[in-house]
Amino acid sequence: MSPISLLSDRDLDAPLAWRHGVPVSARQFLADVVRFAPELEAGGPVINLCVDRYAFAVSLAAALVRGETSLLPPDARPDTLARLVEAGGHTFAIVDAEQAETPGLPRILIENRPPVADAGEQPVPEIAADLHAVSLLTSGSTGTPQPHAKSWQTLVGDVAAAVGRLSGLLGRSSLSGLTLVATVPVQHSYGLESSVLLAMLGGAAFDSGRPFFPADVAAALASVPQPRALVTTPFHLKTLLLSGVALPPVDLILSATAPLSPQLAAQAEQATGGMLIEIYGSTESGQVATRRPTQSEIWETFGQIRVHAEHDAEGGERFIFEGDFIPEPTPLADVLELVDERRFRLLGRANDLIHVAGRRSSLGYLNHHLNSIPGVVDGAFWLPDDVTDGVVRPVAFVVAPTLDAHAIIAALRERLEAVFVPRRVVHVTAFPREGTGKLTARALREFALAQLASDGTPVQLTHEVPADHPAFAGHFPGQPLLPGALLLSEVLEAVQGVPALAARLGAQPTLAAAKFLAPVRPGSTLVIDLIPETGASRGLRFEVRSSGVLAASGRWTPGSAA
């Protein structure tokens, strides 16, 4: 297998990057890679935590030249970094800020050094095609990073397919001269593919920053020459357009991580004068398809990538992508409607389908309509664990300073089936979104529970009691039941999972009363009601039901240390 160049065939004296409005040539980039590569520790792997996109690119290239794998975590929390350290290995981090913390992990600081006075003739390094180049890590809903290994050949093929599609859409022979300004972190698969790699392997250039606030995005775009492209997400794009900040002309807008409404796409194209293209893919597969939402709802795959449906014995369906740069057939966690083997409609995430009163929809579909209401800055539906009148009712959380709940519900009645219209709308100031604009299921659940508990709203949680719980062995042979002390422990653990309730009781809550009214058997599903008390006591009542029968009730109060 022949090696593949670190950079595409390009003019080495033309800009590969822009730093604060100053161009950095590809030749200078290669000189910086040669200068930094010897500073890396042997053995790896390398955890690339650089925020500056140019520092990241130099670090990534230096690792490739050394034959090392770069780990790209979703965040730099100590617990995330601890999981990446390989036993017996030589894992180390690269950072671009002195104040960056990597507790217990060796690190190397890549400094912002002045350019080499004479970069000279720098040969473009050749990288082994089968080198394990990067492991992209996602947190998902569990918070545990899941690594997805990518070879250098896979990354090169992925970017080549995107270059061909984007060049054709822009009516250009290549992406040479196009400068990319990205609001997404480079450690994310989309941020990596559509900024640094699209420049290194596709002939474009990238801005080194990661602007977030609308004024910073506008300034970053204005600091680089045309043609220019904005690489962003629906959340960032909506925030930018609602700000009213004047934007310089943009030739291309790339959007990914969530479906974009045709209305927002049209507004973006009108505000910038550019073409908006959505990218579809996943960390597992890379980017595999595009669409222009102002012209069609149908996605078309890159190159010769094909998609087909598979069915299991239970009647379940999943959609498999294969071909071109995808090393092996890869399922994606979405529900599609296939037009043919290269075109499809996206119906929603397979794991966000919900059922209300016998009707089926997806949270993505509901969120689309919620966020299309004029005046809603941001919004998300959430389906609680509790059941009211035998039907689970969705709750809508919104950032909408100019609208009240009645106006939002009235607008949703015009867009949704009646069973999906929320009975409650909760106004919030912001959502706990990730750097890509994503709102994970876990983060939304914790956020929703905290918001509901903070205003005295009862919270209901469910908990499965394992059939093989060790406590059943001694309580009692032939008639096992869960001891009362462990049942109370389950209640307290439920309280600790809701930050607002945990704060109410403090670090050392006191059990003021408890009654045990029915046995809890192996394999039971517990429904735990937590009812905040009003008044000065700040107490918390609880009721625990097993199979619809009240098994326990009681009350916790704040301890003396609270």
CA 262 to chain centre: 22
Long-range contacts of 474-478 (CB under 8 A, 24+ apart): none
Query: Any residues with CB less than 8 A from the CB of 414 and at least 6 apart, and which?
Result: none
Average pLDDT, integer, range 285-301: 94
Identify the CATH number of the domain in which residue 183 sits.
3.40.50.12780
Predicted model pTM: 0.73
Q: What backbone phi and psi angles, to 5 degrees, belong to 266?
A: -65, -40
Give the pLDDT band (50/70/90) at residue 115: low
**Does 66 score more than 70 pLDDT?**
yes
Kind and range of the H or E element at 337? strand 334-340
**Two tokens, residue 258:** 């969530």
Pairwise pLDDT comparison (143 vs 147), residue with the higher score: 147
Give the pLDDT band (50/70/90) at residue 455: low
> What SS3 state is found at 175?
coil
**Counting runs of H as helices and runs of E as strands, what totals does the chain give?**
14, 32
- State the CB neighbour count (10 A cutoff) for residue 343: 16
| Span of 118-132, 432-446, 467-481 with lowest mean pLDDT | 467-481
DSSP letters of 263-281? HHHHHHHHHHSSEEEEEEE
Q: What is the spatial distance between Cα 391 and Cα 359, in angstroms, rounded to a whole number?
A: 11
Looking at residue 143, its pLDDT comes to 42
**Does 530 score more than 90 pLDDT?**
no
Q: Are 222 and 169 in contact (CB under 8 A)?
A: no
Q: Strand ranges (DSSP E) for 315-375?
A: 317-323, 326-332, 334-340, 343-349, 353-356, 359-362
Pairwise pLDDT comparison (149 vs 42), residue with the higher score: 149
Indicate whether 255 and 383 sit together in one domain: no
- State the CB neighbour count (10 A cutoff) for residue 174: 17
Q: What angle do CA 139, 142, 147 make, to 5 degrees?
A: 40
Alpha-helix runs per DSSP H in 321-422: 363-371, 405-413
Domain membership of residue 144 (yes or no) is yes
**Does 338 score more than 90 pLDDT?**
yes
Indicate whether 168 and 179 sit together in one domain: yes
Indicate whether 180 and 166 sit together in one domain: yes
Domain membership of residue 230 (yes or no) is yes
Give percent of the chain above pLDDT 70.
91
| C-alpha to C-alpha distances, 59 to 37, 111, 144, 271, nearest whole angstrom | 8, 11, 25, 36
CA-closest candidate to residue 72, choices 176, 195, 165: 195
Indicate whether 480 and 544 sit together in one domain: yes
pLDDT tens profile 472-489: 776 667 778 888 888 898
Average pLDDT, integer, range 156-185: 94
> What SS3 state is found at 378?
strand
Domain membership of residue 308 (yes or no) is no
Indicate whether 401 and 417 sit together in one domain: yes
Identify the CATH number of the domain in which residue 421 sits.
3.30.300.30
Query: Any residues with CB less than 8 A from the CB of 311 and at least 6 apart, and which?
Result: 317
**Two tokens, residue 368:** 């689309």
Give the pLDDT band (50/70/90) at residue 399: very high
Domain membership of residue 339 (yes or no) is no
How many domains does one find in the chain? 3
Residue that is last in its domain, among 274, 297, 320? 297
Q: What backbone phi and psi angles, to 5 degrees, belong to 404?
A: -95, 175
**Two tokens, residue 57:** 């690119």
Identify the CATH number of the domain in which residue 496 sits.
3.10.129.10
> What SS3 state is found at 459?
strand
Indicate whether 447 and 402 sit together in one domain: yes
Query: Any residues with CB less than 8 A from the CB of 410 and at least 6 apart, and which?
Result: none
Indicate whether 159 and 54 sit together in one domain: yes
Looking at residue 147, its pLDDT comes to 79
- State the CB neighbour count (10 A cutoff) for residue 299: 22
Bridge partner list, 89: none
> What SS3 state is found at 422?
coil
Indicate whether 436 and 474 sit together in one domain: no
pLDDT winner (highest mean) among 86-90, 291-295, 401-405, 460-464 = 291-295
Pairwise pLDDT comparison (348 vs 5), residue with the higher score: 5
Give the pLDDT band (50/70/90) at residue 388: very low
CA 384 to chain centre: 22
* Angle of helix 234-243 versus helix 262-272 axis, rounded to 10: 50
Domain membership of residue 335 (yes or no) is no
Indicate whether 433 and 499 sit together in one domain: no
Q: Are 107 and 93 in contact (CB under 8 A)?
A: yes
**Does 330 score more than 70 pLDDT?**
yes
CA-closest candidate to residue 440, choices 84, 138, 193: 138
Pairwise pLDDT comparison (439 vs 167), residue with the higher score: 167
**Two tokens, residue 561:** 């240390």
Domain membership of residue 312 (yes or no) is no
Domain membership of residue 272 (yes or no) is yes
**Does 88 score more than 70 pLDDT?**
no
Indicate whether 193 and 281 sit together in one domain: yes
**Does 396 score more than 60 pLDDT?**
yes
Give the pLDDT band (50/70/90) at residue 562: very low
**Does 521 score more than 80 pLDDT?**
yes
**Two tokens, residue 17:** 């990057």
pLDDT tens profile 544-554: 988 889 999 99
**Does 145 score more than 70 pLDDT?**
no
Indicate whether 449 and 465 sit together in one domain: no
Q: What is the spatial distance between Cα 525 and Cα 530, in angstroms, rounded to a whole number?
A: 16
Q: What is the spatial distance between Cα 450 and Cα 431, in angstroms, rounded to a whole number?
A: 12
Residue that is last in its domain, among 271, 297, 323? 297
DSSP letters of 200-254? HTTS-EEES----SHHHHHHHHHTSPSSEEEEE-HHHHHHHHHHT------SEEE
| C-alpha to C-alpha distances, 195 to 189, 200, 201, 286, 470, nearest whole angstrom | 10, 9, 10, 14, 52
Indicate whether 108 and 34 sit together in one domain: yes
**Two tokens, residue 343:** 């075109």
Q: What is the 3-state secondary structure (H, E, C) of 20-88?
A: CCEEEEHHHHHHHHHHHHHHCCCCCCEEECCCCHHHHHHHHHHHHHCCCCEEECCCCCHHHHHHHCCCC
Cis peptide bond prior to 227, omega within 30° of 0? yes
> What SS3 state is found at 127?
strand
pLDDT tens profile 532-545: 887 667 788 999 98
Domain membership of residue 157 (yes or no) is yes
Average pLDDT, integer, range 514-518: 92
Q: What is the spatial distance between Cα 63 and Cα 69, in angstroms, rounded to a whole number?
A: 7
Structural domain of residue 493, as residue ranges?
Answer: 456-557
**Two tokens, residue 412:** 């949703």
Residue that is last in its domain, among 453, 487, 519? 453
